[in-house]
Structure 1
């Protein structure tokens, strides 16, 4: 009996962690204009969920992602261009919110590292092949 009580205590917190607050109006509701909805959906695919860290806001079930989806749809429905909405979200949440952060001093090494590593790999492969030919 005591083991059941301990098990119930371990299971209860995750079950109670679900928010009972309903999602914002446009979080899971598509826009009436198909072109605006396509633009909103395309933008949502490029924005990272700040809670999940591996999903876009289009794919995430987190409350924060729902709020961000609603913001994107509201702004696009109001006539803002997706680029302006993206820039606003980056200004508000930082470059981390974007899967394609702009080149800057902080992100420069991330952009340059693959090129440098490919060049080093190419040089090593070339030296290895030259050594085998002799």
Structure 2
């Protein structure tokens, strides 16, 4: 099941709404906050992917559920909604302990996380130039 067909890879509206997390008045502070959130996401991404990959190799449903949940939440926060939806699917499969159809979803997650690195690095450059 692929829920991401109509979702953008990076939801620019979510990025714009992150400005509300800052002090609301100073554009520089808001941009800095967004860059910091994206940077932390990128710094933790490898660990999240490794944990999920290891769990998939072992068919460890509870770890798949937990890892997918963590990746889903952070991905959704920074606007990677399609990736978050696939993580939600993996999380549900882990929760239900029904992993027979998890591999294609996992492969989409891996592909999206690989793409996300470049997309997010470019977004940081764009934000810092603004």
The answer to whether TM tops 0.5 is no
TM-score normalised by L of structure 1: 0.27
More relative contact order in 1 or in 2 (CA 8 Å, sep 6+)? 2
**Which structure has the greater CA radius of gyration?**
1
TM-score normalised by L of structure 2: 0.27
More helix by share: 2
